[in-house]
Structure 1
Amino acid sequence: MGMLQEFKTFAVKGNVVDLAVAVIIGAAFGKIVDSLVQDIVMPLVGKIFGGLDFSNYYIPLNNQAANLPLVEAKKLGAVFAYGNFITISLNFLILAFIIFQMVRILNKMKKAEPPAPEVTPEEIQLLREIRDSLKK
């Protein structure tokens, strides 16, 4: 029963619950960022570069036709999907930047804790008072 009780104490701690909530929110937020990149950013980037869809850029490695959509080419064999990698990398950069900004804002909102007053043992304090009185 000792291990079960120890696990219960660990699982009920606030940090574990906070972590679980953060993972769930992070997964949902990741989907939002994924949609932002795939549905808004990449079409704009594609429009700037002449209507190109980066997610379908690949190099066929198994003698597939180079003009197939990526999904169809993958069904026929291995492909080097560098366009998909570019899209996912952009996803990561946007997500990392947003999290960085959130942490910055939270750090600014935290009040700086005043430094703790210097606590000295009573004996040292008495010795200092004696030293100061002898100097006079």
Structure 2
Amino acid sequence: MSEIRVPGVLQGFKAFLMRGNVVDLAVAVVIGAAFTGIVNSVVKGVISPVVGALGTKSLDGYSSCLKGPCTGTGADATGVRILWGSVLGATLNFVITAAVVYFLMVLPMSKFLARQEARRKAKHGTRDVSEVTELEVLEEIRDALLAQRSPNRTDA
């Protein structure tokens, strides 16, 4: 009886780690963690003072009372309070993070890659291939199949 060899757990784990998308994901997580400090500084140094000039010093202070008299804070609080300021703060953090990632990483990298591609095309003298729709490809296949049929052959 032949024995089927299953790769070891460590070999499978190594293959998993060596996939390109796993490495890209790890880099994204590390860069995202690094941007957290920048975003928190922007929120603390820019956004919070602007909000403080318009209202309270912190977005966390904004809330609405849903039920009953809302008095006190923390464990001594009564009533049902919706802390919509916290949600707004988290949303601003997300938008600022997305903007920083886009404007400082994605946009410059896209422009760089486009320039590299243009240089490569100019160097090799290649030209863009016109896009062909799926329907056009299917029509070409149909026409080729019809041309291959012999005229004296009948379908049964």
The bucket for the TM-score relative to the shorter chain is 0.5 to 0.7
Aligned sequence identity (%): 34
Instruction: Note if 1:2 corresponds to 2:7.
Output: yes
Q: In structure 2, which of residues 23, 43, 65 is the aligned counterpart of residue 17 of structure 1?
A: 23
Instruction: Note if 1:56 corresponds to 2:61.
Output: yes
Closer/same/farther in 2, CA of residues 59 and 12 from structure 1, 3 Å limit? same
Counterpart in 1 of 2:89? 87
Are the equivalent residues in 1 in contact too, given 2:17–2:23 (CA < 8 A)? yes
> In 1, Cα distance between the equivalents of 2:128 and 2:55?
65
Q: In structure 1, which of residues 38, 43, 56 is the aligned counterpart of residue 44 of structure 2?
A: 38
After the TM superposition, which of the residue ranges 73-82 and 32-41 deviates more from structure 2?
73-82
> In 1, Cα distance between the equivalents of 2:127 and 2:13?
35
Give the TM-score normalised by the residue count of structure 1.
Answer: 0.64
Residue identity matched to 1:29: F
Are the equivalent residues in 1 in contact too, given 2:48–2:57 (CA < 8 A)? no
Residue identity matched to 2:36: G
> In 1, Cα distance between the equivalents of 2:74 and 2:66?
10
Bigger relative contact order, structure 1 or 2 (CA pairs below 8 A, ≥6 apart): 1
**Which portions of structure 1, spanning 4 or more consecutive aligned residues, are displaced by more than 6 angstroms?**
none
The structure where helix makes up a greater share of residues is 1
Counterpart in 1 of 2:77? 76
Instruction: Note if 1:103 corresponds to 2:106.
Output: yes
Q: CA deviation at 1:3?
A: 5.6
Aligned length: 112
Q: Secondary structure at the match of 1:2?
A: coil
Are the equivalent residues in 2 in contact too, given 1:64–1:73 (CA < 8 A)? no
Structure 1 unaligned segments of length 5 or more: list them.
119-136
Give the TM-score normalised by the residue count of structure 2.
Answer: 0.57
Closer/same/farther in 2, CA of residues 60 and 116 from structure 1, 3 Å limit? same
Q: CA deviation at 1:38?
A: 3.2
Structure 2 unaligned segments of length 5 or more: list them.
1-5, 130-156
Are the equivalent residues in 1 in contact too, given 2:59–2:85 (CA < 8 A)? yes
Q: Secondary structure at the match of 1:64?
A: strand
Q: CA deviation at 1:25?
A: 2.2
The structure where strand makes up a greater share of residues is 2
CA RMSD of aligned residues (A): 2.9
Counterpart in 1 of 2:142? none
Closer/same/farther in 2, CA of residues 28 and 8 from structure 1, 3 Å limit? same
